[in-house]
Amino acid sequence: MSPHQTIAVVVRLFAVWLAVYVARTAPFYFREAARSDDPYAGAVIVAIALVITLFLLFLWFFPRTVARGLLESESAVPAEPAAVDTWFAVGCALIGLWLIVPAVTSLLYNFFVVYMAQRSNEYDTGMLQFGWVYYAIQLALGLWLLLGAKGARTLFWWARSRGT
């Protein structure tokens, strides 16, 4: 299996996982929007659900496009076994995605809570200040890993060859 095929499979698995996660948390957001006094809260939730649905459909129907965006272009010749650096890059990208998803969903949740808090005084946003920093750092680290992580690769090879 070539690295592009591997990433394509992982992208589809990620789409399934994200769909399950969204389906699990969507009722909470719709319930909170229905309880609020804001007439636009429901429209905001529907718009976000539409964007996520379009993103999921893109991931499901075009996983090789994502794979080509993450890895170098593949040649027409049959793929040889991938080098360790290629698999390390794939692993870094997967860990990056693993970090990005909860960070983005938590940031979206915090934005939603702040939005609802502006409309009514039912929500306490005092503890959100700590969450913003944590999730922003997690998102930055995930993006760094997803987009290549040259420093992580250098650190990995240094640690691996240190004892020899």
Other CB atoms within 10 A of residue 54 CB = 10
18, 43, 68, 92, 146 from 159: Cα distances, Å:
34, 51, 30, 16, 21
Q: Name 26's Cβ contacts closer than 8 Å, sequence gap at least 6.
A: 49
Would you say residue 155 lies in a domain? yes
Would you say residue 76 lies in a domain? no
pLDDT of res. 76? 42
Confidence grade of residue 124 (pLDDT, cut at 50, 70, 90): low
Q: Considering only residues 37 and 47, tell me which one the structure prediction assigns the higher pLDDT.
A: 47
For the cut 50, the answer to whether the pLDDT of residue 2 exceeds it is yes
C-alpha 84, offset from chain centre: 24
Tallying the residues shown for the chain, one arrives at: 164
Domain region containing 41: 3-71+81-161
The span from the CA of 124 to the CA of 121, in Å, is 8
Q: Dihedral of the CA atoms 137, 143, 148, 149 (nearest 10)?
A: 10
The stretch 32-44 carries a mean pLDDT of 85
Confidence grade of residue 54 (pLDDT, cut at 50, 70, 90): very high
For the cut 70, the answer to whether the pLDDT of residue 127 exceeds it is no
Nearest to 148 by CA among 55, 80, 85, 83: 85
Confidence grade of residue 129 (pLDDT, cut at 50, 70, 90): low
pLDDT of res. 58? 96
pLDDT of res. 79? 58
2, 55, 93 from 107: Cα distances, Å:
34, 17, 21
- pLDDT tens-digit readout, 80-118: 676 777 777 777 788 888 889 889 988 888 888 777 777
Residue 44 in tokens:
């905001």
30, 33, 39, 42, 45 from 27: Cα distances, Å:
5, 10, 18, 12, 10
Would you say residue 123 lies in a domain? yes
The stretch 115-123 carries a mean pLDDT of 72
Whole-model pTM above 0.95? no
Would you say residue 49 lies in a domain? yes
pLDDT of res. 57? 95
pLDDT above 70 covers what percent of the chain?
A: 87
Would you say residue 66 lies in a domain? yes
Would you say residue 53 lies in a domain? yes
pLDDT of res. 56? 95
Q: How many domains does the chain have?
A: 1
Nearest to 82 by CA among 96, 69, 97, 71: 71
